[in-house]
Amino acid sequence: MVNILSIKELGENLTSARKKQFPQDTAAAFAARCEIGLSTYKKMEKGELSVGLHNYYKAGQVLGLESRFHELFKLEEDWFNE
């Protein structure tokens, strides 16, 4: 089951990052910067599940945070249990 709170938090983090990195951008201006439609971007900020992960990656690229996507699902090395 998907934790809806986590998805909502993802949207809130996106909004905060946008406002910090591009304080003059409206949601529409940032969506254009990301090459994402405004309605899709608004769904992202709300944390709606219908948005594809690739759109979050595009926003991450614009914000300079795309390297964090490469860490998703990566298991930490465990030297004692190998």
pLDDT in tens, the chain (82 residues): 566 668 889 999 999 999 999 999 999 999 999 999 999 999 999 999 899 999 999 999 999 998 888 887 788 777 776 6
Instruction: Give dist(CA 28, CA 66) in Å, integer.
Output: 21
Query: E-strand spans in the chain?
Result: none
pLDDT of residue 57: 93
Q: How many residues does the chain have?
A: 82
Residue 46 in contact with residue 40, Cβ under 8 Å? no
Q: Helix, strand, or coil here: 58? A: helix
Residue owning tokens 């465990």: 78
